[in-house]
Chains A and B, each alone.
Chain A
Amino acid sequence: MIEFENVTRAYANKVAVNGLTLRIPAGELFALLGPNGAGKTTTIKMLTGLLRPTRGTVRVCGVDLVRDVRRAVREIGYVPEEPFLYDKLSGREFLEFTAEMRGLNRAETASRIGRECEFFDLGDFIDDLSETYSHGMKQRLIFASAMLHDPTVLIVDEPMTGLDPRSTRTVKDRLRQRAADGATVFMSTHTLAIAEEIAERIGIMDHGQLHFLGTVGELQAELASTHTSLEPLFLELTSGNGQLGKNREHPLGIK
């Protein structure tokens, strides 16, 4: 479970995230949408313990990310937008390092690496050095590494960047499966179609504030619009002319 409680993050005089209150229960696949500079990356950085909120509290599985970051991070699997790998390690060696850091024993490590290799189809290149990988290969390996310890919370930043259609399908299936297994999946994306397709709820953020939180159906109903896809809704909402957020109550009842 992920909880943001009245979280504000400021960069000196610029407020990147403003009073964010959001609760994503276990088993939900949540997508955070927003234009560039909306505050999505700051939100994810706070969720992974890289940034501390200026005000408010971020909790993962009930653990405060400032007070006990190590315990909170242990529950998290994180797939950044730009994957980091050690150039001079092979994919398998990187996964073994991750597994060891996550406290898996040798047998568990071997079986889980086998499992993820099969899922993400890493077999062809797992023993090559990472410096030879394409962006898509790196992305798949990072997904595998984030899944190794069966995280309770999975945080994914722009998950489909650089992936081919087959890999995109695999990743979508895996995210759905994780959520079905009871994990909380937090996804930040620009790809509206993916959010529309797999997310149970979406949040639309702009200028550091959450302007909408709900399902696609709720969004369409609220705008009383004839739009059938998310794109025109998103554009309307983030253009500054949208009706949402003006008369609407906060999803959690917070004024």
Chain B
Amino acid sequence: MQTPHAAPPIDFLPPHRESRAFRRARNRMLATILRQAMTHSRFRVSLVAFLTSLLWGCMFWMFADGFWFLESTITQPGMYAQAVGGVFSMFFLALLAMLLISSAIILYGSLFRSREAAYLLTTPARDERIFLHKFQEAIVLSSWGFMLLGSPILLSYGVVANAPWYYYAMLLPFVVAFVYIPVSIGSIICLWVVRRFPESRATLLVGGLILLAILAVWVGLGLLVGPRNDLLTPDWFQEILGRLRFSEQRLLPSWWLSMGLLASASGDWNESVLFLVLTVSNALFFRQYAVWTAGRSYRAAYSGLYGRSLRRRRSRRMFFDRGLFLLLRPFSAEMRLMMVKDMRLFRRDPLQWSQFLIFFGLLVIYFLNIQRFTYDISSISWVNMVSFLNLAVVGLLLSTFTTRFIYPTISLEGRRFWVLGLLGIERRSIVWGKFFFAVGGAILPCCGLVLLSDVMLKVSTWIIVSHQLTCVVLCLGLAGIAVGFGAWLPNFRADTPSRIAAGFGGTLTLVLSTLYILFVVLLTALPTHFYLATEYADLELSLQSPTGMKWWLVFWLVSGSAASLVLGAAATIVPLRIGFRAFERLEF
């Protein structure tokens, strides 16, 4: 054994070199990702770029049209500026809340749950640097949605308002400074909660989210329910602006951003610079405060989190599983086992069922309150349109769930395929099991929601039947697309469902699911809409002749419904067949 030797005299890396090391590593990773995307995923990149540009263009056109409409409709002096100010303040306030929540969640994942954080904490990197590294990622991850949603609004407003050049020049610094504030506050909350309440952080998070959801519903209902005055009259505008007043609190960064942008658009240089300086200085303060907090508490919070009580979660055989097993008696034993296993995994993953509950719960609240909105419930065509829109919304919501949770299930199965492989289960049974699980899980809540919407809208019985049938077709098709594509384009490298869903197969599944919903709903909604219009409109009498439009509409209605059934069958069978074939050939 030798004598102890002294530590080599290496000075700590100065902050700027530490920062450079992280920056260089990140730039290298970014360059690799871009290079790989351009080499191996050109189609996916082009598709995403095309769809994003399309979405951006549509939003720009829609917002520009909206601003032009407001400008031409509101003739009272000063009211247009007030209306835009109200819209901006509300929009930015909503973004402020969303950025705060999303950054807190993102930073919790990256600072406390990632393997990278555990690795970095064993290096001599300063805690503040590790935090900043993750903080910058959170800024990018949290704000890309803001860029996508915010930029068409802000640019279209600049165009409509004929804003000077510095409006456009100030946009980026304004937006970046604004984003820093909620992300910094979100990170401080995240560090504080984990440091102080490592045991009950999840309860606090869920409680906070539920509180915010209730607040959002309350604000939404307050805005939409029962304005007393006629639509788009000056009094109506005043009433709505009055209801938005809470978003114009002087201490809210969203109000600073709103006022600063409006000032620069109207050519008020001094005021816009004042608000920019106010926003930037607050952004710098909160960022600095977040870094300081991380320096003091990150490592202690990390240690506290992993030092919390080790509760081994004991799983008990539940009556629910036994009941489900009995209920699935018509299926083969293998498929029943697979479905009960998938149900168990779903039940034990709060991420899945909590999102399911939140979004479906919000729709239930909306449908239950549908009669309180100012729709003209007596207008059949209006009610019919809203009922079909509700059907489409339920379908779109379901498509996000099938893409996010059902599509990745086969890929995740692949990682433990040796378990299934050694059991001698037919591969086809695995895919069928996933499909029936998805259909069974989707049909009950979706048909229930659509039924609720129809009952609240008081639509006729045959429309209810038609909607239920369409909903079943949607569930079958969406499950077929998600499971079939999941088996056709599995990703065994990614280890989390979100990563798998974000890949090419997931993107394709989402795009095709959306198109499928639009086609199915339009094929039945349009003829029904026109048919009902002829039933109740003044045109009725002129359309009574057998050779007239009515018979044409009946034909359209029947053929549209048949076409939607055919499309549903195709969307169910074709992807499943592709999936079966690919999955049977797959080598693990």
Contacts and interface: CB of A to CB of B under 8 A. Distances in A.
Contacts, number: 124
A51 B122 CA distance: 11
Contact of B10 (A52, A86, A100, A102): A102
Contacts of A11: 307-310
Nearest to B25: A97
Interface in B482-502: 493
Contacts of B21: 97, 100-101
B115 to A, nearest CB: 5
A12 interface: yes
B300 A52 contact: yes
A226 interface: no
A27 B2 contact: yes
B307 A52 contact: yes
A19 interface: no
A180 B33 CA distance: 43
Interface stretch (B11-19, B181-189, B237-245, B537-545): B11-19
Nearest to A146: B122
Nearest to B305: A51
Nearest to B30: A88
Contacts of B200: none
A88 B2 CA distance: 41
A200 B122 contact: no
A101 B123 contact: yes
Nearest to A27: B2
A48 interface: yes
Contact of B299 (A27, A49, A84): A49
A84 B7 contact: no
A76 B122 contact: yes
A11 B311 CA distance: 9
B12 A103 contact: yes
Interface centre among A70, A78, A200 (most CB of B within 10 A): A70
A54 B306 CA distance: 12
Contacts of B302: 50
Contacts of B4: 1, 25-27, 61, 182
Contacts of B24: 97, 100
Contact of A51 (B8, B125, B303): B303
Contacts of B123: 73, 98, 101-102
B309 A182 contact: no
A64 interface: no
B302 to A, nearest CB: 7
Contacts of B3: 26-27, 182
Interface string B298-328: 0110110011111000000000000000000
B124 interface: yes
Interface string A28-62: 10000000000000000100111110100000010
B122 A25 contact: no
A140 interface: no
A244 interface: no
A102 B124 contact: yes
A12 B308 CA distance: 6
22 contacts: A1-B4, A10-B307, A12-B199, A12-B309, A14-B310, A25-B4, A26-B2, A27-B1, A28-B1, A50-B122, A51-B307, A54-B307, A84-B119, A86-B25, A86-B116, A88-B28, A89-B28, A100-B20, A100-B24, A102-B124, A103-B13, A103-B17
Given A102-B124, A182-B3, 10 more contacts: A10-B307, A25-B4, A26-B4, A50-B118, A52-B299, A76-B122, A89-B32, A101-B18, A129-B32, A152-B8
Interface string A105-134: 000000000000000000000000101000
A82 interface: yes
A138 interface: no
Given A84-B116, A103-B12, A50 B303 contact: yes
Contacts of A129: 32
B125 to A, nearest CB: 6
Contacts of B307: 9-11, 51-52, 54
A82 B115 CA distance: 9
Nearest to A200: B1
B397 interface: no
Interface string B22-38: 00110011001100000
A75 B118 CA distance: 17
Interface string B523-560: 00000000000000000000000000000000000000
Interface in A62-84: 69-70, 73-76, 78, 80, 82, 84
For the complex of A and B, the 4 pairs showing the least CB-CB separation, nearest first, are A12-B309, A26-B4, A27-B2, A100-B21
A103 B11 contact: yes
Contacts of A150: 8
Interface of B: 1-5, 7-8, 10-13, 17-18, 20-21, 24-25, 28-29, 32-33, 115-116, 118-119, 121-126, 199, 299-300, 302-303, 306-310, 493
A48 B310 contact: no
Contact of B122 (A10, A28, A73): A73
Interface centre among B7, B12, B20, B122 (most CB of A within 10 A): B122
A225 B359 CA distance: 67
Given A51-B307, A89-B25, A101-B125, A182 B33 contact: no
B122 A26 contact: no
B7 A88 contact: no
A222 B125 CA distance: 45
A236 to B, nearest CB: 28
Contacts of B303: 50-52
A106 B124 CA distance: 18
A131 B492 CA distance: 12
Contacts of B122: 48-50, 73, 76, 78, 80
A61 B309 contact: no
A12 B310 contact: yes
A93 interface: yes
B502 to A, nearest CB: 15
Contacts of B7: 61, 74-75, 152
B441 to A, nearest CB: 33
Contacts of B29: 86, 88-89
Interface centre among A50, A61, A82 (most CB of B within 10 A): A50
Contacts of A26: 1-5
A104 to B, nearest CB: 8
Contacts of A89: 25, 28-29, 32
Interface centre among A11, A28, A48, A88 (most CB of B within 10 A): A88
A206 to B, nearest CB: 17
B10 A149 contact: yes
Interface centre among B121, B124, B199, B493 (most CB of A within 10 A): B124
Contacts of A70: 12, 124, 126
B12 A74 contact: yes
B493 A131 contact: yes
A150 B6 CA distance: 12
A13 interface: yes
Contacts of A75: 7
A50 to B, nearest CB: 6
Interface in A142-174: 149-150, 152
